[in-house]
Structure 1
């Protein structure tokens, strides 16, 4: 129930911001607004202020701003204050104002979250014996900088290493309360096909303690239960998950396990897929630090840019069928699940997730599909180019048909989300 309320609250908030963009643009242009509505379906609550009726409706799946004469003529309002009494360029402004409001909100949320809560730092979560990193790093070291540039967990350490390989990489680290500079020369791994230093960089420190096992999976089949902690492999003590992983790669499968104060011996999974996918492990919380304001703003725009590029890549993949639709698209159930997970992950992740949803809402609405803002922009562009207005009845019919199609897609995606959630 809490997840449902959270979903409804977040969606109504984001839709409210979107529709407020349209509303304020219309008011600024002098267009009369007949209704500002959040949600679809039966009216739950409504009130009137001036010429505008404000309503909250039953289904929190959308909203609308009804402009004067948008669906036909009106005798009460002068023609110059109606939707169709405006020059063509105002249609572009009106259509773009909603997505723009969501983009502005997304930027504000990301900047506020990063400057307010900070970002996690990468840590040395494990070392590969015999590799260069093992000579200079200690497990638990906090990565502060790479080659003189501040480093955060939002960045790819491996990419930074490969950018200068085979030249040595200088890391600024914090060990205990002391800040140090260490230099590591990457080596080329024939097995991996790339340059590596031999360290695992993660925001979280991963313990060899099982948090969850997949029913019917290899860990469950070997007898492991949630709460089990691997204390040694083949007689060698392990403190971190990657200690376990490196010994597993060497062929060790016999684990001494601590369970509720007792010890027992259990076999580890034989396959790498089973080792990594059939169980999750307890982690220590990341270390969050607030970046300087200027750096935080730059990092925020990098996050926004990356999210936008990801959205475009997903749309391209859907069109070319390189990405299956069931993997790329999620509906109300999937979004509600993600929001619930975001709350559990902490305020930074939650606000970044809300920002991502707001940004995706903006970009999705720019697609030129009937009933979306992108289609309204297309109609406005047609009018600008041809200097001919599209018949209100034709435009209304096109958007109505598009709305029916979108509603059908939402229902279909919801069933897909439920099947994915409950198997």
Structure 2
């Protein structure tokens, strides 16, 4: 249960920050944002602030910002249709009702002749069968009622498609960008608390039960030589020890300005290449500096971006083991293992997942932010946008493919889980 709660918190954070990036830039660009949603499926919570409804939905597998003009408007009035409407003190329409008119006895009623909710913003028709043709201006922030809920109309200049190309590009790019910002912030917090790794030839925290502790080594000891060979950095210590598994070595140590010799037998572990390597059981030394923590936050984020891109390249070229590809189940299990190691490992894991979400979303694939950015780049090169119907079809096919891939990866996760 603890793992499930932490997984929901982590993914809720990553998705909410991602969608907040889209939301804030869209609003700054003048785009009407109807809904900011975390999750998919039925609503379990909703609150409206300003123009936007903020919702939490049942299935915590993503989120979205519903911007006016991205999808066809759900509200349409045809000539000859009977509607109800409300006028403000200036004689302008501020609310329109198109069904269940009997529930609104205080409204004005009209048989519509013409209407325009996007450009000219007017409504004309007959309130009486034999009466004159009446025309009313519609307020830019007028609402229409669907299923007893008010939705704001979207004049043309408030719709996504009517914005400039740079504004649309930045609106889409802002989601992945905010995930990178989040990763940097988490890494900065992590390094501010834990300290920034140092390459000085010092010992960090000594691990209980390992050779370093058993031999009397302490955190802060300076190692100036191993077996008579000078060590000038942490890398020198790691390099020498790793080459001597299960061997006795002599460390020349300076502690409290006093030099001493300490002999110990190294431990061993299997390295990434499968070969045994020596260990003594100490962490890398760290130093505390806010400026260095900020620098390390950027450096660590950049490192994981490079690792993600390297992994994707190997996936395309065939150098990646597909059995290592993880989906929701695999990420859940990995999160459980990270949770067991403590808060700081959870921080690192969250930052890594945030980078992962950003990089994956920027891939030029349909249904992802990168796919939408690709269409905007094509528009810039062509001088005109791709037909909305064709773009929508490509994104639909891409989404179906991603769902299929998700099922396959989940199946792979389950096979790996039960084969343990």
Query: Normalising by structure 2, what TM-score?
Result: 0.65
Q: Which residue of 1 aligns with 2:155?
A: 78
- CA drift at 1:388: 0.8
Aligned-partner Cα distance in 1 for 2:309–2:26: 29
Q: Secondary structure at the match of 1:43?
A: strand
Structure 2 unmatched ranges of 5 or more: 76-116, 118-152, 198-203, 225-229, 243-250
Q: Which residue of 1 aligns with 2:3?
A: 3
Aligned-partner Cα distance in 2 for 1:156–1:379: 50
Residues 10-49 of structure 1 correspond to what in structure 2 (within 5 A)?
Answer: 10-49=10-49
The counterpart of 1:312, out of the listed 302, 309, 314, is 309
Aligned-partner Cα distance in 2 for 1:418–1:7: 18
Aligned-partner Cα distance in 2 for 1:376–1:349: 34
Q: Secondary structure at the match of 2:367?
A: coil
- CA drift at 1:144: 6.2
Aligned-partner Cα distance in 2 for 1:290–1:330: 35
- CA drift at 1:418: 2.0
Q: Which residue of 1 aligns with 2:170?
A: 93
Asked if 1 retains the 8 angstrom alpha-carbon contact of 2:157 and 2:163, the reply is yes
Asked if 1 retains the 8 angstrom alpha-carbon contact of 2:361 and 2:369, the reply is yes
- CA drift at 1:161: 10
Task: Please tell me whether residue 300 in structure 1 is matched to residue 297 in structure 2.
Answer: yes
Q: Which residue of 2 aligns with 1:103?
A: 180
Task: Please tell me whether residue 413 in structure 1 is matched to residue 400 in structure 2.
Answer: no
- CA drift at 1:380: 0.8
Aligned-partner Cα distance in 2 for 1:20–1:172: 54
Q: Which residue of 2 aligns with 1:113?
A: 190
- CA drift at 1:41: 1.9
Aligned-partner Cα distance in 1 for 2:233–2:394: 51
Count residues with an aligned counterpart.
314
Q: Compared with structure 1, are the counterparts of its residues 17 and 240 closer, same or farther at alpha carbon in structure 2 (3 Å cutoff)?
A: farther
Residues 241-260 of structure 1 correspond to what in structure 2 (within 5 A)?
Answer: 242=267
Cα deviation digits, residues 219-276 of structure 1 (max 9, x gap): xxxxxxxxxxxxxxxxxxxx9771xx59xxxxxxxxxxxxxxxxxxxxxxxxx98999
Which is greater in Rg? 2
Residues 386-405 of structure 1 correspond to what in structure 2 (within 5 A)?
Answer: 386-405=382-401
Q: Compared with structure 1, are the counterparts of its residues 139 and 25 closer, same or farther at alpha carbon in structure 2 (3 Å cutoff)?
A: same
Task: Please tell me whether residue 375 in structure 1 is matched to residue 381 in structure 2.
Answer: no
Q: Compared with structure 1, are the counterparts of its residues 139 and 421 closer, same or farther at alpha carbon in structure 2 (3 Å cutoff)?
A: farther
Q: Compared with structure 1, are the counterparts of its residues 161 and 91 closer, same or farther at alpha carbon in structure 2 (3 Å cutoff)?
A: farther
Cα deviation digits, residues 90-117 of structure 1 (max 9, x gap): 2211111001100001000001111023
Aligned-partner Cα distance in 2 for 1:157–1:370: 49
Q: Secondary structure at the match of 1:342?
A: helix
Asked if 1 retains the 8 angstrom alpha-carbon contact of 2:205 and 2:285, the reply is no
Asked if 2 retains the 8 angstrom alpha-carbon contact of 1:143 and 1:172, the reply is no
Task: Please tell me whether residue 384 in structure 1 is matched to residue 380 in structure 2.
Answer: yes
Name the Cα RMSD after superposition: 3.8
Q: Compared with structure 1, are the counterparts of its residues 156 and 388 closer, same or farther at alpha carbon in structure 2 (3 Å cutoff)?
A: farther
Cα deviation digits, residues 167-191 of structure 1 (max 9, x gap): xxxx99664xx367899xxxxxxxx
Structure 1 unmatched ranges of 5 or more: 128-136, 163-170, 184-198, 200-238, 247-271
Aligned-partner Cα distance in 1 for 2:292–2:260: 24
Asked if 1 retains the 8 angstrom alpha-carbon contact of 2:67 and 2:160, the reply is yes
Higher relative contact order (CA 8 A, sep 6+): 1
- CA drift at 1:126: 5.2
Q: Compared with structure 1, are the counterparts of its residues 61 and 97 closer, same or farther at alpha carbon in structure 2 (3 Å cutoff)?
A: same
Q: Compared with structure 1, are the counterparts of its residues 79 and 4 closer, same or farther at alpha carbon in structure 2 (3 Å cutoff)?
A: same
Q: Secondary structure at the match of 1:381?
A: helix
Cα deviation digits, residues 34-74 of structure 1 (max 9, x gap): 11111112222223223222221111111111110111257
Q: Which residue of 1 aligns with 2:418?
A: 422
Asked if 2 retains the 8 angstrom alpha-carbon contact of 1:122 and 1:143, the reply is no
